[in-house]
Amino acid sequence: MKGEEKLWQILQEKLEMLRAGNRLPEALRVGDTALEMAQRIFPADHPSLALSYERLGRIHDQQGNHGEAKVLLEKALRIKGKIKAAMFYPTAVLVVAIWAMGMSLVTKHEQRMPVLATACRILVLLCCRFCIFCWLEKRSS
């Protein structure tokens, strides 16, 4: 881990400590600093940047700054949505491609059914996997 990333991580830990201790004005200053640093060191679609937006948004929400909280939390959600899509779609496309290849190679209907069933099971598992990610994310909030 590079020096700035390590410093960002330390700021995140301090931010959570201050928020948990209800020291919101201090947490807000640390959160602003952490977000500025995250914007400088991480790409626009990086999970750490989303985390900075989310934590700062929660502090604004706790302080009653709901408009600012909404803006920050929406930015975090957009980044998280891109990350999930990036993880899910290539895998789903691969499964469908494998299924289509299998279907073109198999000539008899009764031989096609196991190929179709396997592809469907894989897609269901992928969807369930992402539902579990969403559930865990909501639960940890």
The residues spanned by each domain of the chain are 3-140
Q: Which of the pair, 20 or 112, is modelled with greater confidence?
A: 20
Model's pTM, two decimal places?
0.61
Amino acid at 134: C
CATH of domain 3-140: 1.25.40.10
* Three-class DSSP category at 97: helix
Nearest CA-CA partner of 77 in 49, 98, 102, 96? 49
Q: Summarize pLDDT for 47-103 with one digit per residue, the tens.
A: 899 899 989 988 988 888 888 888 888 888 888 777 665 555 555 555 555 555 555
Task: Tell me the chain's radius of gyration from C-alpha atoms.
Answer: 21
